[in-house]
Chains A and B, each alone.
Chain A
């Protein structure tokens, strides 16, 4: 690669990739703390259904299982894409990113369909405190996935236009961290909200 790049070993100074990755890691942890606040809200308001439908009446675990499978598979293909980026294989990177995009898109479509169905049967966010907390928590994750998909398209376009430059590689690192973190939040979400909610 470019030998004129930043000095490879300056004592006491970490490489830019490490600094960038670490900084983004700190951001992700703060994002997870924000989700924890929404989780706490949901846990407190879980039984405040105000006579309306509870999770047991509303949640369709088949839908959630498909969403989970899509997100888990997309986390894997995102890992494949970062292998492709590090190996500088454009076809592997673009192919894996495209599969990630499709799986993320399916996840988002299923979630929107679920939300629309709930609103249509009168179980919108204004129905009860439980539903307000539910839509805030799950919707916030859905917004993150939407942002992640837009970022994914941006990364594909940047690699297409500029190639695997060092700064692009750092952005790919941050994107893959973001995408894996979204999957970790979804694990907490489907366990606590859907599996526990549908069982009770």
Chain B
């Protein structure tokens, strides 16, 4: 295939495209490694959710860590986000997206927890209604 089709010039790589040295016939290996790692992390997540082997309060944190790790595996092995120079734009956009997501989720939870805390009589009233 020609250079035009894969778009490997101008110093950037499109998100989802593999770096040039990996694309072509050998690139199936990347997906296989990704599939293996993702399967492993998923199986561990499902196992740990129902197990009594570990200290129970640690389970939510373990599931969260495993989920973040698996998202990283998907980004690296399926979407081919790398630390390479040709991927800086993609990584910067991703970093900004992650920043907004974190602000949105932690901000919402923080504000709503404070509201709950400051409106204790209302909260108790609602708990009596339950």
Q: Which of A's residues lie within 8 Å of B, judged by CB?
A: 1-3, 5-6, 8-9, 13-18, 20-22, 24-26, 29-30, 32-33, 36-37, 39-41, 43-44, 49-51, 61, 65, 68-69, 72-73, 75-76, 79-80, 82-83, 86-88, 166, 169, 173, 176-177, 180-181, 183-184, 187-188, 190-192, 195-196, 198-199
Contact = CB atoms under 8 A, between A and B. Distances in A.
Interface residues of B, number: 60
B82 interface: no
B104 A36 contact: yes
A22 B14 contact: yes
Chain B contact residues, majority secondary structure:
helix
B110 to A, nearest CB: 10
13 contacts: A2-B2, A6-B4, A9-B9, A15-B9, A21-B16, A41-B108, A61-B46, A65-B46, A75-B35, A76-B32, A86-B23, A180-B74, A195-B45
B7 A15 contact: yes
Contacts, number: 176
A184 B78 CA distance: 10
A87 B90 contact: no
Contact of A13 (B10, B59, B89, B112): B10
Nearest to B107: A40
Contact of B14 (A3, A21, A73): A21
A82 B90 CA distance: 19
A180 B79 contact: yes
